[in-house]
Structure 1
Amino acid sequence: MPLVRFDVLKGKSESQIASMLDAAHRAIVRSFDVPERDRYQIVQEHEKSHVRLEDTGLGIQRTDDVVVVNVVSRPRSEEAKIRFYQDLVEELSSNCGIAPSDVIVSFTINSDADWSFGHGRAQFLTGDL
């Protein structure tokens, strides 16, 4: 935990996707100090014609390498989130060739009661985690 979802344009190879997931996981582990095996990632591919990602008037140029990263997580400090934004773009840039201008990140925060990792149990509440 956190659960990280990636929305990308169709056409990436399996190795490109694996590299992206590994890079993002390194950023998660560093920024949020989570265990190495605390890894929950999902990739969704989209046709180019089904995606519109502009720049909110910031003048940011996007390419076909654009990736939207949605993070569902327990509360994190502003400092940790800012560190994650930087770690993520550095990892994706240096390991995947994805420009920082092509990385969009959004957080959805939830509570301990909002997670079950299996067996119908709320592990954060039961003390299993």
Structure 2
Amino acid sequence: MPLARIDLRKGKPAAYRQQVGQVVYDAMLSIGVPKDDRFQIIQEHEPDGLIYDPGYLGIARTDDFICVQVTWNEGRTLEQKKAFYSAVAHGLHDAVGIRLEDVFINLVEVKRENWSFGNGLAQYAM
């Protein structure tokens, strides 16, 4: 049920974007997201459409900045979230060479009834 939105600067090749999506998906699998539960929106932006502070919290960011926002069900532990952050950042570094400093991750937790996967139904509503 996660929905991953991945935003990056325009100009990366399709293979790069596909690898980024795979890394995020693999990180989700590593903390228990079900196999085949892959919904991602990967969007490229012009330089003026992806705004970030290059030094917030003392972290030096470059134009390779990437924003990963995942909306998923509430209930994961702090340890699972930290493992996810690490898996994404290190996975992106290993796969496509992104510096750890350039990986920004935001998690949005929602209740299970806030999803419809099609047919106008709330498949997870109890």
Q: So what's the TM-score if we normalise by structure 2? A: 0.92
| Structure 2 residue aligned with 1:92 | 92
**Number of corresponding residues:** 125
**The 10-residue stretch of structure 1 (115-124 or 49-58) with the greater mean CA deviation from structure 2:** 49-58
Residue type of the alignment partner of 1:45: E
Distance 1:48 1:10 in 2: 8
CA deviation profile, 1:17-59 (whole Å, cap 9, x unmatched): 001001111111102x122201011011111122221156422
Percent identical pairs in the alignment equals: 36
Distance 1:48 1:36 in 2: 35
| Structure 2 residue aligned with 1:45 | 44
Q: So what's the TM-score if we normalise by structure 1? A: 0.90
| Structure 1 residue aligned with 2:33 | 34
Residue type of the alignment partner of 2:43: Q
CA deviation profile, 1:54-103 (whole Å, cap 9, x unmatched): 15642211122110111101012211111100111111010111111000
| Structure 2 residue aligned with 1:64 | 63
Q: Does 1:73 align with 2:72?
A: yes
Residue type of the alignment partner of 2:50: V
| Paired residues of 2:54 and 2:62 also in contact (CA < 8 A) | no
Gaps of 5+ in 2: none
**The 10-residue stretch of structure 1 (51-60 or 94-103) with the greater mean CA deviation from structure 2:** 51-60
| Paired residues of 2:8 and 2:50 also in contact (CA < 8 A) | no
Q: Does 1:7 align with 2:21?
A: no
Residue type of the alignment partner of 2:89: V
Residue type of the alignment partner of 1:25: Y
Distance 1:23 1:3 in 2: 14
**Runs of 4+ residues deviating >4 angstroms:** none
Q: Does 1:16 align with 2:16?
A: yes
Gaps of 5+ in 1: none
| Structure 2 residue aligned with 1:105 | 105
Distance 1:56 1:102 in 2: 11
